[in-house]
Homo-oligomer: A and B are copies of this chain.
Amino acid sequence: MSWISTSFMGRKAAAKGATGAKHRLSEEDQGTFHYVYGPYAEPVLRISPGDVVEVETLDAFGGAITSEDDLPSEKLNMPFVNPQNGPIAVTGAEKGDVLAVHIHSVLPRGPQPAGTTALIPSFGALVADASLMLNPAITERVKKMDVTEEGVRFSDRITLPFEPFIGTMGISPEIEAVSSLQPDYWGGNMDLPDVAPGAVVYFPVQRQDAHFFVGDCHGRQGDGELCGVAVEIPATVVLQIDLIKDWAIPGVRLETEDFIMSVGSARPMEDAARMAYRDLVRWMVEDYGFEESEAYFLATQAGKMRVGNMVDPKYTLGASMLKKYLV
């Protein structure tokens, strides 16, 4: 029996992990992609809690970077980057509920080289932002990589493991419509490698029917997404989406067979780290019965911190605790 039956989704959600109808949202079905997470777009699909959705996502550049000779500064048209599928309406979801999303698979699609990374002027963790600094720009560069289930072919000498995940996923804010480049309490562009096949991600619903978005898959990524561009791939994503009624969580949470994780997105980075650990302590108190100072001590001695991104409008970090210590 899968660990899912013991997860918060398996125990608390409407479908309790049982599989509902299957839906497909192809690139053609989507038609117009979205560049904001917000309540102002019409749903492209309606599902019930427990349903499974297969989605064809574009890469973060909307496929505009087709060769290593392309210059992002010429090919990209801000703010129309990081295209998103959705919104998907989840019947019955209301503010105060939690959307539980179990990621079944993330696979590359389209012709090789399927993966793209790039140095983009004024962008990236080790690059001076021209709106802040006077230095000359770095040299723009695109790198294309074959990406298959066997690996990411970084160079002739180096093949990295295929460890795919979803860079951008979440639900609509209540009244805001925010760039798909930004992560926040609703999810969005978290660029957190733990948002990967096998994990269940929990989002705090802000409006009727939740309005779920997804896009921006990565063939893999190091901690921090240093240059700001992971191994960007068009992908086929399979997700099961379920609904937990009346679970008040302040932001994104995540669960695997082995650990629970709270996610924080903020600037400066220490505030993202605090937000993640603060919520992990709250979760340990509310759902595992720890006294608060004891949870704080255990997080101090056994907590793990993942740096998701250090490049987006807000940085995203995840604080986690092994389930074996939550006893």
Contact = CB atoms under 8 A, between A and B. Distances in A.
A224 B303 contact: yes
A327 interface: yes
Contacts of A178: 176-178
Given A36-B175, A220-B301, A222-B300, A126 B132 contact: yes
A103 to B, nearest CB: 20
Interface in A97-124: 117, 119, 124
Given A175-B35, A221-B300, A300-B225, A128 B128 contact: yes
B222 A119 contact: no
A177 B226 contact: no
Interface stretch (A11-19, A138-146, A253-261): A138-146
Interface residues of A, number: 82
Contacts of A226: 277, 296, 299-300, 303
Nearest to A270: B269
A155 interface: yes
Contacts of A35: 175
Contact of A301 (B222, B228, B251): B222
A301 B117 contact: yes
B135 A138 contact: yes
Given A152-B301, A296-B119, A179 B176 contact: yes
Interface in A146-184: 152, 154-155, 157-158, 160, 174-179
Interface in A220-271: 220-231, 250-251, 266-271
A179 B173 CA distance: 10
A301 B154 contact: yes
Contact of A315 (B119, B176, B270, B294): B270
A138 B128 CA distance: 12
A128 B231 CA distance: 27
Interface stretch (A43-51, A209-217, A304-312): A304-312
